[in-house]
Amino acid sequence: MKILVLNSGSSSLKFQLFEMPEGQVLVKGLAERIGEQTAHFKANDYEVSRPLPTHKEALQLLTDYLLNPDNQIIKDKNEIIAVGHRVVHGGNTFVQPTLITPEVKAKIKELFSLAPLHNPANLTGIETAEQIFPKAEQVAIFDTAFHQTIPIENNKYAIPDTFYQEGIRKYGFHGISHQYVSRAANKRLGRTDTKLITLHLGNGASATAVRNGKSYDTTMGFGPMNGLIMGTRSGDIDQSIIFYLLDKMGYTSAEIQTILNKKSGMMALAGSNDLRDIETAARQGDEKARLALKMYAGAIQKYIGNFTAQMNGLDAIVFTAGIGENSDVVRRMVSQNLDYLGIRADLEKNKDPKTYQGDITAENSPVKIWVIPTNEEKEIAQQTYTLIH
Ligand code: ADP
């Protein structure tokens, strides 16, 4: 059974076609710069640059590629039984994979205000797929859904209750990734009554406390700026800074948004949001880069302490996403000086986790430390398959 997974951004469309339940990837690719003068389309080893005015032309191009007899992928569009869509914000409404209906689409639209950069693009992807694959089941998988198990004491802010009633609360993000790697970690542990901390460290970054397979707390909140230091986002700051910028320094609300979202984090500290550049600069003695790495790892350690205390213990830490999977420097800095919590990495294994099946735990460490590559698309395919099967 073939399931297509779509992740639609405002000017991009990432896709993977899976053979389920095996999980085999038949096609993987993306369309970028949709709506610009020239877009770029890549599917497996086929690449083309040409205008793609909307997502519809991008998805049509993918369909042509799939149907092309030379590629031997599908003979008929209807072989694609379902399309699984990543949808960023599910609010309080969506806690499960959800079959898309007109009501579901209306609700996703209502949530535009909570995720103005993402949900509109996600809905465009859904509506386009409905047109191009009218016979396929359309399924939404929400990035917030995994965090809906966070107990009220961890999702409520200490501000007047009316705001909570209005939906101002911690939602958390990267849920699909945290769910995928936490399930993989529980499989390794051979049980589900576990206490985990999953660290999704990509351009955006978040840490999640996962207790008994369920999200218990997470570092992102109402929006995706809170918590850890990220590529271009500040992570935790004192909210009085915002009022100072607004009232005393004359910045507009839009400018402050841009500063905290696009000009902060590692970009502000070290002049780049690419961790590889920062590591190189730090090796060459650049003080700003060194400080940036120290602060980056320190922010993660603060939450490891916080979450371990909340769960009253810890079985494993999981590193994932671009930085978590690839940066031995960050993993080393995060894992050091945590012996008190029973966290000790083997620094040799840390340099080459693949050789050790991602297990970089030191022999005398009670807490496991694992590097587990995330695979949000596979998780979406699996959840879609389970729903329609
Ligand atoms: P996104 O959130 O955009 O999906 P990724 O998960 O791809 O991001 O992570 C991007 C980050 O991973 C960038 O900061 C990049 O520098 C970092 N990264 C990728 N490969 C390496 C590597 N080999 N060493 C260190 N950092 C890396």
Catalytic, out of 45, 70, 143, 217: 143
* β-bridge partners, 24: 19
* β-bridge partners, 29: 15, 43
Predicted pLDDT at 10:
87
39 phi and psi angles, rounded to 5 deg: -100, 165
Which residue is closest in CA terms to ligand 1's atom 21? 326
Ligand 1: residue of 86, 272, 278, 323 to mutate (most ligand atoms within 8 A of CB) is: 323
CA atoms within 13 A on the CB side of 239: 2
DSSP string, 81-115: EEEEEEES--TTT--S-EE--HHHHHHHHHGGGTS
Residues with CB under 6 Å of ligand 1 are 202-204, 231, 274-276, 321-323, 326-327
Give the sign of the dihedral formed by CA 310, CA 313, CA 316, CA 319.
positive
Predicted pLDDT at 124:
94
Residue by residue, pLDDT tens for the chain (389 residues) are 999 999 999 899 999 999 999 999 999 999 999 999 999 999 999 999 999 999 999 999 999 999 999 999 999 999 999 999 999 999 999 999 999 999 999 999 999 999 888 999 999 999 999 999 999 999 999 999 999 999 999 999 999 999 999 999 999 999 999 999 999 999 999 999 999 999 999 999 999 999 999 999 999 999 999 999 999 999 999 999 999 999 999 999 999 999 999 999 999 999 999 999 999 999 999 999 999 999 999 999 999 999 999 999 999 999 999 999 999 999 999 999 999 999 999 999 999 999 999 999 999 999 999 999 999 999 999 999 999 98
Q: What is the DSSP letter of 69?
A: G
Ligand 1 center to residue 301 CA distance, Å? 19
Ligand 1 center to residue 112 CA distance, Å? 28
Which residue is closest in CA terms to ligand 1's atom 27? 323
DSSP H or E segment with residue 300: helix 287-311
Q: What is the DSSP letter of 180?
A: H
Ligand 1: residue of 174, 276, 325 to mutate (most ligand atoms within 8 A of CB) is: 276
Tokens of 7: 């992740």
Is 193 an annotated catalytic residue? no
Cα–Cα dist 121/384, whole Å: 20
Say which amino acid occupies 79. E
Predicted pLDDT at 4:
98
Nearest to 196 by CA among 221, 177, 169, 178: 178
Atom of ligand 1 nearest to the CA of 273: 14
What is the tens place of the pLDDT at every residue in 290-307? Answer: 999 999 999 999 999 999
Contact 143, 87 (CB under 8 A): yes
Integer angstrom CA distances of residue 278 from 139, 233, 294, 327: 39, 16, 11, 11
Q: What is the DSSP letter of 361?
A: B
Say which amino acid occupies 61. L
| Domain span(s) for CATH 3.30.420.40 in the chain | 2-142, 191-371
Atom of ligand 1 nearest to the CA of 279: 25
What is the tens place of the pLDDT at every residue in 197-240? Answer: 999 999 999 999 999 999 999 999 999 999 999 999 999 999 99
Contact 178, 374 (CB under 8 A): no
Contact 231, 203 (CB under 8 A): yes
CATH topology classification for 2-142? Nucleotidyltransferase; domain 5 (3.30.420)
Q: What is this structure's pTM?
A: 0.95
Cα–Cα dist 296/330, whole Å: 8
* β-bridge partners, 13: 8, 31
Q: In what order do the strands lie in the sheet with 39-43?
A: 46-50, 39-43, 24-32, 13-19, 2-8, 80-87, 137-142, 98-99
Cα–Cα dist 90/141, whole Å: 9
CATH number of 191-371: 3.30.420.40
Ligand 1: residue of 326, 350, 375 to mutate (most ligand atoms within 8 A of CB) is: 326
Atom of ligand 1 nearest to the CA of 277: 16
What percent of the chain shows pLDDT beyond 70? Answer: 100
Ligand 1 center to residue 326 CA distance, Å? 7
Length of the chain, please?
389
Helix segments in 91-217, DSSP class H: 102-110, 119-132, 152-155, 161-165, 175-189
Between CA 361 and CA 363, with CA 362 as vertex, the angle to 5 degrees is 115
Residues 6+ positions from 335 with CB-CB distance below 8 Å: 317, 343, 344, 345, 350, 360, 369
Predicted pLDDT at 194:
98
Q: What is the DSSP letter of 349?
A: H
